[in-house]
Amino acid sequence: MAYSRLSAAPLSAGRASAARVSTALASALFVSLSAAAALAQPAGAAHHPVLGPEAAACRPGATGTAALVTVHGFKDRDGQLRIQDYTGKDGEYLESGKYLQRHDVPMTASGGMTVCLSLPGPGSYVIVALHDRDTNGKLSIWSDGIGFTGNPRLKLAKPAPFDTVIPFGAGVTPVRIVLNYRRGLSVKPLD
C-alpha cells in the first residue's frame, strides 16, 4: 500500500499510480535536462573555457592541427600564463627565440586554464607552459612555475626531448600540463 508523503494516510490505488507516474516523469525530465546541459558544452571545456586568440582552432569541426592545453597546479593567480611550442629538432628544442608561436593569456580567477594552440601540421612538438608571475616574459626560477608536455620530473636543467616531445595528428589533441615550482633545491608540483 502506498502512503502520502505529507501524511501517514494511505493513498487510493488511482492516486498511488498517479504519484508513481509523476515521480517517473520528474526523474526522466531531470536526466534529460542534465544530458542536454552536458552536450551543450564543447569537448574539453566542461570545466574550463577555452582561452587564447586561437580558441576557434579547437572547436568541433575545426580543420588543421591543434593542441587543447589544460594547465593545472597554479601557485596563485598573479601574472599571466604563457604557452609556446617548439619542435624536437636539434638546435631548436627549447632554444631561446626558436619557439614556433607563443600566447600570453591573463590569469583566470581560479582553477586550471585551457588554451588552444594551433600547430603547423601533424608532427612531434613540445608545449611549454610558463606561469609568468611577474609578467617579465622570462622564466624566473625563483618564482615562476613551468611545465611541459609529458609532465617529466624536473631538475634544475632542461628536460630531455624524449621526455617532452609528443606526436600530434590532424585534428585537436588534448594535453594536460602540471606546473612545477622551485621548492628548496628541487623543482616539483605543489601537490
Contact 62, 48 (CB under 8 A): no
What's residue 185's pLDDT?
Answer: 85
Mean pLDDT over the full length of the chain: 82
What's residue 157's pLDDT?
Answer: 85
Instruction: Bin 50: left if φ > 0, else alpha if -120 < ψ < 50, else beta.
Output: beta
What's residue 21's pLDDT?
Answer: 42
Beta bridge partners of residue 145, listed in sequence order: 131
What's residue 141's pLDDT?
Answer: 87
What's residue 6's pLDDT?
Answer: 41
Give the containing element (helix H, strand E) for 18. Answer: helix 13-40
Cα separation, 129 vs 11, whole angstroms: 63
Contact 127, 167 (CB under 8 A): no
Cα separation, 172 vs 116, whole angstroms: 9
What's residue 155's pLDDT?
Answer: 86
**Amino acid letter at 132?**
D
pTM strictly above 0.85: no
Q: Which residues of the chain have pLDDT under 70?
A: 1-47
What's residue 47's pLDDT?
Answer: 64
Beta bridge partners of residue 133, listed in sequence order: none
SS3 149: coil
